[in-house]
Amino acid sequence: EVQLVESGGGLIQPGGSLRLSCAASEFTVSDNYMAWVRQAPGKGLQWVSVIYSGGDTYYADSVKGRFTISRDNSKNTVYLQMNSLRAGDTAIYYCARRYTITWAFDPWGQGTLVTVSS
């Protein structure tokens, strides 16, 4: 079964750094577009970043320059390095795989909660 499992969330002080991981099963991350999408408590979905199969990366304006998406092909895992964290970054962070050759994403992982607070 195709599966994504996120980890690495937690409580972090403003200005701090955190690295999220997204481990994939039953498919190869480097053959796919992989995205991170976040959801602040009680709010809607917000796209954060995407890494193409060719390695190109793109970011939402709100995280550009602070977050970095990457992947480790040997571990079949995608990462999101988050620096200079702000209270507004508090959210559940989901990773998701592109669905076929389109701009939809499925499946999604269960999410990992990041709380930025002093």
Partner 1 sequence: QSALTQPASVSASPGQSITISCTGTSSDIGGYDYVSWYQQHPGKAPKLVIYDVNNRPAGISNRFSGSKSGNTASLTISGLQAEDEADFYCSSYSNINILVFGGGTRVTVL
Contacting residues toward partner 1, per CB under 8 A = 35, 37, 44-47, 50, 58, 60-61, 94, 96, 99-100, 102-111
Residue closer to partner 1, measured from CB, 49 or 77: 49
Residue closer to partner 1, measured from CB, 31 or 104: 104
Q: Please, what sign has the CA dihedral across residues 102, 70, 8, 75?
A: positive
Residues in the chain: 118
Residue closer to partner 1, measured from CB, 13 or 56: 56
d(CA 98, CA 50): 10
d(CA 90, CA 106): 23
Q: Smallest gap, in angstroms, from Cβ of residue 102 to partner 1?
A: 5
